Amino acid sequence: MTTVDKAPTGISVSQVSFTALPGWQAGNPAAALGAWRRSCARILAMDPAAPMGGQVAAGTAGDWRGACGAIGDLSDDPAAVRAFVEANFIPYAVSNGATSDGLFTGYFEPIVRAAEHAQGAFNVPIHGLPADHVTVHLKDFDPDLAGRAVVGRVERGRLRPYHDRAAIAKRGADEAPVLFWADDALDVFVLQVQGSGIVELPDGRRQRIGFAGHNGHDYVSIGRWLLDQGELQSGAAAWQDIRTWMEQNPDRVADLLARNRRYIFFRPIDGDGAQGAAGVALTPEHSLAVDPKFLPLNVPLWLDTVHPGPGQQRLQRLVLAQDVGNAIRGPVRGDFFWGVGPDALALAGRMKSPGTYYLLLPAGVTPNT
């Protein structure tokens, strides 16, 4: 269960050698080529003069064109990919200025049972984006506010905050279409926390749906709230523990879910995977959600953290910064994408691992931090 962390104000990077990257020589960077090629396709489509973004200032899209153009021709041989990266990139240790230690959680795509029409147990709506939903990008009014936005609705000529989760549950989202009707409130809540998922219809058909917008309210972890109230014990606040609590306290479920005022709206997605904020399909175990305030999207990172499975083994691999999350805040903070379904849930739900990552920049690009 991810929690919202207070975001540090700055990022610091320092050049290191590839021998300083834990697990680099034993790793298989070729396994990330699929994810990397998707990100490179996005970079190559950008205006070459466009900045990559983030406080780290990783050059312009044009600075990445040479390396990205060559990645498409690489073989899947680990040694060849390793040699290419070492010849064309420089690694930088990332910190908040005081420490390089950070937190890494996991997320996944749930599979949600649902129907196209309300019937029987299928009575929990999965909403599309409301017609009265407004997003104001503040950079349109002040370039210094780039990356910030205000979400709301227009009422009598004024922009007002959008309804929170409790209000939507009570009055419905009158302006929002219902895409599907699910049979489990927690499944829909998990779907909203993860940001995308797969709807499975009674006849076996499946439809992937993804993030279309939110109501502008901050995310609050209901697992953390249950822990703070003494309703759950430390180490026992995974989704299954929350489900058990809900089954034991059916009259308190609505109040529990309302603790998270944030509400997510969805849209149907066609393609070969969940779409991340970087505009590419996510790759299980090689896509990472980061804080775009600090790091640009679509850049490669060498990750060093702890695997949530038995044995607490190191999780060291090449990943791409391809997504963001409301709870993912800070220079060294990541959400690791595990994939689809129950097995991915089991790993994502247990992951709360210390670790760090190293930013890989093309040779010749000098970060400004």
Residue pLDDT, tens place only, 226-245: 999 999 998 888 888 999 99
pLDDT at 135: 93
Of 70, 64, 71, 67, the residue nearest 47 (C-alpha): 64
Cα–Cα separations (whole angstroms), residue 141 to 52, 162, 213 = 21, 21, 21
Report which secondary-structure segment, H or E, holds 38. helix 33-45
The yes-or-no answer to whether 12-106+284-362 and 110-269 have a common fold is: no
For residues 242-256, give the mean pLDDT.
95
**Six-digit token string for 294:** 């600090």
Between strands 314-323 and 287-289, the pairing is parallel
For residue 173, what pLDDT band results from cuts at 50, 70 and 90?
Answer: low
pLDDT of 7 > 60? The answer is no
pLDDT of 3 > 70? The answer is no
d(CA 166, CA 324): 25
pLDDT of 4 > 80? The answer is no
d(CA 149, CA 130): 17
pLDDT at 174: 62
d(CA 366, CA 369): 9
pLDDT at 151: 93
The CATH number of 12-106+284-362, from 2.40.40.10, 3.20.20.140, 2.60.40.420, 2.40.50.140, is 2.40.40.10
For residue 281, what pLDDT band results from cuts at 50, 70 and 90?
Answer: very high
For residues 168-183, give the mean pLDDT.
84
Strands (E), 205-348: 206-214, 264-269, 287-289, 300-306, 314-323, 333-340
How many residues in total does the chain contain?
369
**CATH number of the 110-269 domain:** 2.40.240.50
pLDDT of 250 > 80? The answer is yes
pTM to 2 decimal places: 0.82
pLDDT of 262 > 50? The answer is yes
Q: List the domain boundaries for the chain.
A: 12-106+284-362, 110-269
The answer to whether the beta carbons of residues 174 and 228 sit under 8 Å apart is no
For residue 9, what pLDDT band results from cuts at 50, 70 and 90?
Answer: low
For residues 68-88, give the mean pLDDT.
95
Strands (E), the chain: 12-15, 89-95, 102-109, 111-115, 124-127, 134-137, 149-155, 158-161, 178-182, 196-200, 206-214, 264-269, 287-289, 300-306, 314-323, 333-340, 352-362
Please identify which residue in the block is written with the tokens 């040694």. Answer: 79
pLDDT of 6 > 70? The answer is no
pLDDT at 117: 95
For residue 105, what pLDDT band results from cuts at 50, 70 and 90?
Answer: very high
List the beta bridge partners of residue 115.
Answer: 181
Instruction: Write down the mean pLDDT value for the chain.
Output: 91
3-class DSSP state of 230:
coil
